[in-house]
Amino acid sequence: MTRAELETALASYGAGLEAELSLLRQLQALAEREQEASLSDDLELVTRISDDRARLMTGLLIVENGIKLLRPLLSDYRSEAELLPGFPDVAALHRVANRLVNTILTADQETLRVLHEAAAARRDALQAIEHGGQTLTAYRRVIAPPVANASLFDSRG
Protein backbone atom coordinates (compact mmCIF):
# COMPACT_ATOMS: atom_id res chain seq x y z
CA MET A 1 0.00 0.00 0.00
CA THR A 2 1.36 3.39 -0.91
CA ARG A 3 1.64 6.27 1.53
CA ALA A 4 -0.96 8.21 -0.47
CA GLU A 5 -3.44 5.30 -0.28
CA LEU A 6 -2.83 4.98 3.44
CA GLU A 7 -3.32 8.73 3.93
CA THR A 8 -6.60 8.54 2.00
CA ALA A 9 -7.76 5.56 4.07
CA LEU A 10 -6.82 7.33 7.31
CA ALA A 11 -8.60 10.53 6.25
CA SER A 12 -11.72 8.59 5.24
CA TYR A 13 -11.69 6.68 8.50
CA GLY A 14 -11.30 9.91 10.46
CA ALA A 15 -14.20 11.52 8.60
CA GLY A 16 -16.32 8.45 9.31
CA LEU A 17 -15.42 8.58 12.99
CA GLU A 18 -16.37 12.26 13.14
CA ALA A 19 -19.76 11.42 11.60
CA GLU A 20 -20.19 8.58 14.08
CA LEU A 21 -19.25 10.88 16.96
CA SER A 22 -21.92 13.34 15.90
CA LEU A 23 -24.51 10.56 15.96
CA LEU A 24 -23.14 9.13 19.23
CA ARG A 25 -23.42 12.53 20.92
CA GLN A 26 -27.04 12.71 19.83
CA LEU A 27 -27.56 9.16 21.12
CA GLN A 28 -25.97 10.11 24.42
CA ALA A 29 -28.33 13.06 24.82
CA LEU A 30 -31.29 10.82 24.03
CA ALA A 31 -30.05 8.15 26.44
CA GLU A 32 -29.92 10.77 29.20
CA ARG A 33 -33.43 12.01 28.36
CA GLU A 34 -34.67 8.42 28.23
CA GLN A 35 -33.16 7.74 31.63
CA GLU A 36 -34.86 10.84 33.09
CA ALA A 37 -38.17 9.83 31.50
CA SER A 38 -37.91 6.34 32.95
CA LEU A 39 -37.17 7.76 36.41
CA SER A 40 -40.28 9.95 36.18
CA ASP A 41 -42.28 6.95 34.88
CA ASP A 42 -43.13 8.72 31.61
CA LEU A 43 -43.44 5.62 29.43
CA GLU A 44 -44.89 7.56 26.50
CA LEU A 45 -41.78 9.76 26.38
CA VAL A 46 -39.53 6.69 26.75
CA THR A 47 -41.24 5.19 23.71
CA ARG A 48 -40.83 8.35 21.62
CA ILE A 49 -37.19 8.64 22.58
CA SER A 50 -36.64 4.98 21.73
CA ASP A 51 -38.04 5.63 18.27
CA ASP A 52 -35.67 8.59 17.83
CA ARG A 53 -32.78 6.43 18.99
CA ALA A 54 -33.68 3.73 16.49
CA ARG A 55 -33.46 6.28 13.67
CA LEU A 56 -30.06 7.48 14.89
CA MET A 57 -28.84 3.90 15.19
CA THR A 58 -29.80 3.32 11.57
CA GLY A 59 -27.66 6.30 10.60
CA LEU A 60 -24.81 5.06 12.77
CA LEU A 61 -24.93 1.65 11.10
CA ILE A 62 -24.86 3.26 7.66
CA VAL A 63 -21.75 5.26 8.57
CA GLU A 64 -20.15 2.23 10.19
CA ASN A 65 -20.75 0.15 7.07
CA GLY A 66 -18.95 2.83 5.09
CA ILE A 67 -15.79 2.71 7.22
CA LYS A 68 -15.69 -0.83 8.58
CA LEU A 69 -13.43 -2.06 5.79
CA LEU A 70 -10.91 0.66 6.62
CA ARG A 71 -10.43 -0.50 10.22
CA PRO A 72 -8.65 -3.81 9.42
CA LEU A 73 -6.69 -2.12 6.65
CA LEU A 74 -5.39 0.54 9.03
CA SER A 75 -4.72 -2.13 11.61
CA ASP A 76 -2.68 -4.17 9.11
CA TYR A 77 -0.60 -1.09 8.25
CA ARG A 78 -0.63 0.42 11.73
CA SER A 79 3.13 0.93 11.98
CA GLU A 80 3.09 2.93 8.73
CA ALA A 81 -0.15 4.73 9.61
CA GLU A 82 1.26 5.85 12.97
CA LEU A 83 3.85 7.88 11.07
CA LEU A 84 1.19 9.86 9.19
CA PRO A 85 0.35 13.37 10.44
CA GLY A 86 -3.38 12.68 11.00
CA PHE A 87 -2.96 9.44 12.93
CA PRO A 88 -2.94 10.92 16.48
CA ASP A 89 -6.16 12.83 15.74
CA VAL A 90 -7.88 9.75 14.36
CA ALA A 91 -6.70 7.68 17.32
CA ALA A 92 -8.12 10.35 19.66
CA LEU A 93 -11.46 10.25 17.81
CA HIS A 94 -11.50 6.48 18.21
CA ARG A 95 -10.97 6.79 21.98
CA VAL A 96 -13.71 9.42 22.29
CA ALA A 97 -16.12 7.19 20.36
CA ASN A 98 -15.29 4.29 22.66
CA ARG A 99 -15.94 6.42 25.77
CA LEU A 100 -19.25 7.67 24.37
CA VAL A 101 -20.40 4.14 23.60
CA ASN A 102 -19.53 3.07 27.16
CA THR A 103 -21.38 6.08 28.60
CA ILE A 104 -24.47 5.33 26.51
CA LEU A 105 -24.41 1.65 27.48
CA THR A 106 -24.13 2.56 31.17
CA ALA A 107 -27.11 4.93 30.90
CA ASP A 108 -29.06 2.24 29.03
CA GLN A 109 -28.35 -0.33 31.74
CA GLU A 110 -29.63 2.09 34.38
CA THR A 111 -32.72 2.84 32.30
CA LEU A 112 -33.41 -0.87 31.90
CA ARG A 113 -33.00 -1.40 35.64
CA VAL A 114 -35.50 1.38 36.40
CA LEU A 115 -37.97 0.07 33.81
CA HIS A 116 -37.69 -3.48 35.17
CA GLU A 117 -38.34 -2.19 38.69
CA ALA A 118 -41.36 -0.21 37.47
CA ALA A 119 -42.70 -3.27 35.65
CA ALA A 120 -42.28 -5.37 38.79
CA ALA A 121 -44.09 -2.71 40.86
CA ARG A 122 -46.94 -2.66 38.32
CA ARG A 123 -47.19 -6.46 38.43
CA ASP A 124 -47.31 -6.35 42.24
CA ALA A 125 -50.00 -3.66 42.15
CA LEU A 126 -51.99 -5.63 39.58
CA GLN A 127 -51.79 -8.77 41.74
CA ALA A 128 -52.88 -6.79 44.79
CA ILE A 129 -55.87 -5.38 42.90
CA GLU A 130 -56.80 -8.83 41.58
CA HIS A 131 -56.50 -10.33 45.07
CA GLY A 132 -58.57 -7.48 46.53
CA GLY A 133 -61.20 -8.00 43.84
CA GLN A 134 -61.39 -11.71 44.60
CA THR A 135 -61.71 -10.98 48.31
CA LEU A 136 -64.47 -8.43 47.70
CA THR A 137 -66.31 -10.86 45.43
CA ALA A 138 -66.23 -13.52 48.15
CA TYR A 139 -67.29 -10.96 50.76
CA ARG A 140 -70.18 -9.83 48.54
CA ARG A 141 -71.43 -13.44 48.35
CA VAL A 142 -71.56 -13.53 52.14
CA ILE A 143 -73.14 -10.10 52.62
CA ALA A 144 -75.52 -10.10 49.66
CA PRO A 145 -76.40 -13.69 48.75
CA PRO A 146 -78.12 -14.36 45.42
CA VAL A 147 -81.81 -13.48 45.28
CA ALA A 148 -82.94 -17.15 45.49
CA ASN A 149 -81.22 -17.52 48.87
CA ALA A 150 -82.44 -14.15 50.10
CA SER A 151 -86.07 -15.35 49.96
CA LEU A 152 -85.36 -17.88 52.72
CA PHE A 153 -84.41 -15.06 55.06
CA ASP A 154 -87.44 -12.99 54.04
CA SER A 155 -89.92 -15.83 54.74
CA ARG A 156 -88.59 -16.62 58.19
CA GLY A 157 -87.85 -13.32 59.50
Q: CATH no. for residue 86?
A: 1.20.58
- Specify if 144 maps to a domain: no
Q: What is the three-state SS of 8-66?
A: HHHHHHHHHHHHHHHHHHHHHHHHHHHHHHHHCCCHHHHHHHHHHHHHHHHHHHHHHHH
| Buried/exposed 25-34: b ≥16 CB within 10 Å, e otherwise | ebbbebbebb
Span 96-105, mean pLDDT?
A: 96
- pLDDT tens-digit readout, 110-156: 999 988 988 888 888 888 888 877 888 877 777 876 665 555 555 55
- Specify if 139 maps to a domain: no
pTM of the model: 0.75
Residues counted in the chain: 157
- Specify if 26 maps to a domain: yes
Instruction: Supply the pLDDT for residue 149.
Output: 55
| DSSP 3-state of 122 | helix
- Specify if 103 maps to a domain: yes
- Specify if 85 maps to a domain: yes
Instruction: Give the domain range for residue 21.
Output: 3-111
* Number of domains composing the chain: 1
- pLDDT tens-digit readout, 46-93: 999 999 999 999 999 999 999 999 999 999 999 999 999 999 999 999
Instruction: Supply the pLDDT for residue 137.
Output: 80
